[in-house]
Structure 1
Amino acid sequence: MKNMLAVIVLGPFIEWKIGSTPFVISFFVSSWLGVLLFCFGFGGFIQSAFGIGTYIESFYGVSLSGYALFPLAILAFLIEKPTFSFMTKIVAFTSTLYYVTVGYWPNLAMSDIEKNVQVAHSCGLLVGLFCVLVILIIKHREKMFSFSSRSK
């Protein structure tokens, strides 16, 4: 439920700034790539440290794309036009701060499943950063790869 609230609060702001197509594509791609990174990148470590039962149980229900929205929210803040209103900035900033703080708050009595969920959220953040990088490259590809021909 907490991850769905982040999508409901941050989703419209991000879509308004970067466009609906990049938002929807990056939302689904971040989920798929986050699951792949979680399973194949950290899967061996999780299986060897906690056992296969914990690995399968923690994989069920982990929402990675919710945490991939936070790098996209930062990208939305960096885009200048159209400008955010002051109230929009407050809502987006406080929701981002709340979910990142609550999601990564250190707790000594965390179970193995909660530790795996934190690893999964980290995978979501990493994939969100990757999606932001791809969006920036696509939006600025003409500036990056343009060659000016100078005639003398």
Structure 2
Amino acid sequence: MELRRKEMILRSIPDLIVVFDSSGSMSFVSQSASRFLNYTSCELENTSFWDRLTEDSVRLIKSAFMDALAVKRKPEDDTTPLADGEPISVRIIDKDDDKEKGLPFALKGVVHFAADSPECVCTLCPETPNAKRDMAHSNANQVSDGSRC
């Protein structure tokens, strides 16, 4: 019952949330995927995150994931932030999108070590032209279009 409650809370968060492992396999995609992309969460779960990103974005995330795995941490620490907690600019390929271009998103996440194998738990917020500047100047981490990051 408690697990179901937590899943319902997680699925109701308006931000795009993705959980994937080191091979890129997405084990969870929030219901909000359809708000940002032409995919439902069911269409994306158990598929490769790498297939939904531009090549440059895949390289950035894989590098950040590997760096997080290499960080020395205390035995009681079960998470390590990606890219020292800074947003990573990535491009997600939508169903009708150009494979080379992709839609711009800011990805923030942590690598979670509590399971059998490490997983990355991320939030993705659409980037606006001024999103990086807006995020740097906003204490509340608000993007200029009002979405949270």
TM-score w.r.t. the length of structure 1 is 0.27
TM-score w.r.t. the length of structure 2 is 0.28
Higher-RCO chain (CA-CA 8 Å, sequence separation at least 6): 1
Q: Please tell me whether Structure 1 or Structure 2 has the larger radius of gyration of its CA atoms.
A: 1
Structure with more helix by fraction: 1
